């Protein structure tokens, strides 16, 4: 299926797939084993201009639409989920919010180096007591003269040690009657006084995109580095968060596709009881179930990405997409592991890596549980009889 892709997008997808299989796939297991940021992949992705994929042409980017973006994430995740995770954050909400909300000076300063991968961007929001309850953050920013002074800590911040630029959220109006109205976000550059890195996490999957704690101790941020200020910052950013869910969903789909493809090839080679295990009906049904799950997820993803490109609201659709994609990828990778039997549990095969990589995606961008709450509220609003 082409999922409504144009001829140019189909050609781009084919080119990208060849590139990924040649340049990224052979080193994906090593990236996972090292558990270090894959700096070598930055230059590789720059060969195709991928870091600036979503950035407007006026600032050196490709100006690609959202359908092209999710296609790219799928193809990257098929071969190296860690690299896909780095890409979807950099080219997703951070890049999009700069060219959507930034001043002309901010765009000229930060977008050109983002296009080449010279400055990878990270997103600083999550805190120890502020995950699903996104507005409950305790990091504060106090205006003093011509700069804000930030104090607080962020945790689980993807690839932050390798990023030269971070978009950081802080509470700037502690007296706001509604928590979301008291938040602002800032450009924080590596090397700013008072900014440092804390604990580095040891996680199960996506190990090539390390998570690190951000520490702000009287961190000085120039007032011109305010991206969005209270009381409207969080509300204006919400539509972009819906897009982040689609990037996350795309990674889940790419990983699931890889697991499915590996399992089906393995089944046609492996013999048991005198025949290929692909001939057993019970195992064939598992393959059929995997295909159904993947195809329904992709159809929903491309439908929603097309709506984003049309400028339509996608609160409902993005929740459905991510809930299904998160849960689909867990099921598909688990079934792929089962189809390989004991071999699937071993690191000699990539299926155990797929299983580990997709699991963490259920936490970012809203858990399936939280998104069910959001979806239910949206449905009740749409079908209100009051």
Share of the chain above pLDDT 70, in %: 100
Report whether pLDDT(108) > 90: yes
Distances (CA, A) of 32 to 82, 210, 353: 8, 10, 8
Work out the average pLDDT over 276-293.
96
CATH number of 234-382: 1.20.140.10
Report whether pLDDT(345) > 80: yes
> Per-residue confidence at 163, pLDDT binned at 50, 70, 90?
very high
pTM for the whole structure:
0.95
Work out the average pLDDT over 230-257.
93
Work out the average pLDDT over 255-282.
95
> Per-residue confidence at 243, pLDDT binned at 50, 70, 90?
confident
Report whether pLDDT(386) > 80: no
**Cβ 27 vs Cβ 80: under 8 Å:** yes
Report whether pLDDT(56) > 90: yes
Instruction: Determine the distance from the C-alpha atom of residue 268 to the mean position of all C-alpha atoms in its chain, rounded to a whole number.
Output: 33
Q: Which of 67, 69, 58 is nearest to 102 (CA)?
A: 58
pLDDT of 310 reads 95
Instruction: Determine the distance from the C-alpha atom of residue 97 to the mean position of all C-alpha atoms in its chain, rounded to a whole number.
Output: 15
CATH number of 121-231: 2.40.110.10
Between 135 and 64, where is the model more confident? Answer: 64
Cα angle vertex 163, ends 116, 15, to 5°?
Answer: 40
Q: Which fold has domain 7-115?
A: Butyryl-Coa Dehydrogenase, subunit A; domain 1 (1.10.540)
Where along the chain do its domains lie? 7-115, 121-231, 234-382
Report whether pLDDT(316) > 90: yes
């Amino acid at each position: 299926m082409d999922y409504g892709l144009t001829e140019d997008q189909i050609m781009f997808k084919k080119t990208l797939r060849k590139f990924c299989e040649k340049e990224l796939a052979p080193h994906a297991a090593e990236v996972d084993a090292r558990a270090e940021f894959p700096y070598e992949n930055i230059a590789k992705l720059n060969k195709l201009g991928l870091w600036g994929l979503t950035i407007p042409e006026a600032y050196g980017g490709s100006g690609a639409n959202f359908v092209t973006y999710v296609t790219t994430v799928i193809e990257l995740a098929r071969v190296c989920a860690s690299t896909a995770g780095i890409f979807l954050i950099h080219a997703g909400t951070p890049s999009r919010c700069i060219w959507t909300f930034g001043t002309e000076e901010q765009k000229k300063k930060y977008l050109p180096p983002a296009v080449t991968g010279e400055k990878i961007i990270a997103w600083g929001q999550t805190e120890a007591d502020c995950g699903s309850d996104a507005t409950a953050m305790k990091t504060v920013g106090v205006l003093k003269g011509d700069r804000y002074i930030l104090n607080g800590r962020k945790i689980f911040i993807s690839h932050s040690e390798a990023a030269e630029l971070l978009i950081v959220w802080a509470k700037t109006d502690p007296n706001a009657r509604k928590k979301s109205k008291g938040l602002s976000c800032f450009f924080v550059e590596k090397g700013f006084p008072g900014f440092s890195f804390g604990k580095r996490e040891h996680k199960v999957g996506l190990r090539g995109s390390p998570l690190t704690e951000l520490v702000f101790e009287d961190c000085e941020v120039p007032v011109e580095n305010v991206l969005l200020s209270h009381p409207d910052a969080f509300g204006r950013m919400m539509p972009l968060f819906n897009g982040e869910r689609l990037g996350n969903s795309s990674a889940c789909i790419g990983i699931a596709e890889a697991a499915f493809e590996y399992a089906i090839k393995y089944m046609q080679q492996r013999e048991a009881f005198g025949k290929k295990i692909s001939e057993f009906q019970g195992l064939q049904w598992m393959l059929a179930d995997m295909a159904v799950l993947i195809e329904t997820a992709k159809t929903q993803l491309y439908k929603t990405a097309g709506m984003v490109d049309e400028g339509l609201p996608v609160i409902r659709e993005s929740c459905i997409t991510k809930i299904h994609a998160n849960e689909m990828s867990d099921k598909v990778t688990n079934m792929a592991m089962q189809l390989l039997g004991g071999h699937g549990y071993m690191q000699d095969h990539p299926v155990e890596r797929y299983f580990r990589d997709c699991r963490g995606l259920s936490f970012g961008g809203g858990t399936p549980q939280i998104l069910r709450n959001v979806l239910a509220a949206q449905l009740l609003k749409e079908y209100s009889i009051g």
